[in-house]
Each structure stands twice: as structure tokens, then as C-alpha cells.
Structure 1
């Protein structure tokens, strides 16, 4: 059904009223096809505009090992990722940056802030200390002098 506006026949009522009109067979198919074409054209226009914005702001940049790419991130830590057959890779921690205790109602959880290989300091994450000690004990060798 389609809603159409028609002039109100009553001279005392100023305005318009809604009338329901049935669309049959080819009319509804034609109207739907026109709407789909309009939507496609608008999507193409939007995609073209976004591509243009992206292309105008893109530039080629090259770095070498030792260059400071981002504050707190040097390419000295960078190594090519070892991608597995299932297209995954293992995150490798390189340093403990900080430590804190997270207090719950009846329990305290010790957390450590971990800097991961191929990530910036801003991307460091808080992890459970007990889990990190069991998986990566080498990170905690000199911990007594650093945080106590």
C-alpha cells in the first residue's frame, strides 16, 4: 500500500489528508527498482567521495631500524612477525612497565603492565601477574629492585 496526500474535499478543513492506495503487480516492481537504483547511485557517490578523501591524505613513508616512529616506540624492537599457517601470530612480552593491585570485595589481584613486541607503550596492557609469571618467568628475573 502507498500513502498519498490529496486535497481535502471539505471546504471547512484546510490542509490535506492521507489516502491509502494499493499498488499492484508491475507498479510495485517498477517503484522498488527505481528506489534500489537511487540507493545504488547514492552509495557509489559516497564511496567515491570517501576514496577521494583517503587518496588525498595518503602518503608513502619509509623507516629504517632505529628511527623513532612514535613517542616511546622505536624500530629497534621491531622484528617481522612469524605468521602461522592459520594466519595468527604469538604476542611476545618484552618488558614489565608497572605493577598495581586491583582490589575486589574479598580478593586482591596483582596486575602488571606489559609492553608487547611490535607495539607502542600506549598499547601496553594490564595482565594478571600470576599468569604472566607462569608463562614468561624471564620477565621477572630483576623485578625485586625495580618495583619494591
Structure 2
């Protein structure tokens, strides 16, 4: 006894062969056409479901494009046991930079201008590893101009008070001042 008949108590009747035991006779063209129509309906419904899911996933997605000359930060992931950017463990940086975009390579990759310390790393990166640096060049303090004391703190001196505000929080008055500072070597910041 076939397993189907043992399980369901009747013989298996496929749409291709509708006759009982004996000489097998294939169904006519009507059965084949009906099956093809059902398969086409199933394919159309699967395509509609896939298109709907694609629309949901791409609804908030926008193409990322950068211009040559933009400043980019590079996302790096800490690899276990690999010291790639001078620190290891939880103190390893997640984003380094900024670096200048030299050229666009393909549709989704860019070549960056990396310093000599990162000469062993390939200079071409996918857009998922890049984020735009929106900082102003005039606000950067070069590291060679900052002097550090023995506690690894940079020394600042106040120059002038630019603005004064009084905030009232509940029944307390708090004075805040905007002060212009000068580092030891002469660069100024607020």
C-alpha cells in the first residue's frame, strides 16, 4: 500500500492522471493550461508581495553621494585582537578622521586621502563606511598648537567675557557666561 493511501485512506489522485489503476492516461490540454494559469497567478502575487516589501524598505532610504573635495569621517569597527588605530578594546575609536575625498570609484565607493599613519589601509571605501564631516575648518584646533600639562590637560587662559545670561530654574537664578579663551600657544576659541 502506498504511504499516501495508508495515511489518508484513499488513493492519491494527481491532476495529471485522473484514471484509476490501469493504463495511465495523461490529461488533456485543458488541465495543463489551467495549471499554467494558476502558476501565473501565484507568480504575480509573489511579485506584488516582493515589490511591496521593497517599497517598505526603500521608503526612508536615499542615495548617498559625496563630492570630490568633501571632508569625510571614516567608520571603523573594533576587531577583536587587532590593534589598527592605536587603541584596543572599549577605548578603540569608532569614527576617525576627517579625510578629504580624492575621487569617486564606481557608484558606491570613494577614495580618501589618508595620512602616513594609515598607509597600510586601502584608500578606497564603500559609502556605508563614510559619514560627512560637517565641522567648519576654522573651528579645528591643530594638535601641534595645543600644549598639555603633566595631567594631560590643555591649558587655557580667559581673554574676555563675551556674553552673560541669567537662567531662572524654579526658584534659583543661575548666571552663565560666554568666555573667549586662549590656549598657551596663542590660538583662540570661545
**Which structure: larger Rg?**
2
TM-score by length of 1: 0.40
Bigger helix share: 1
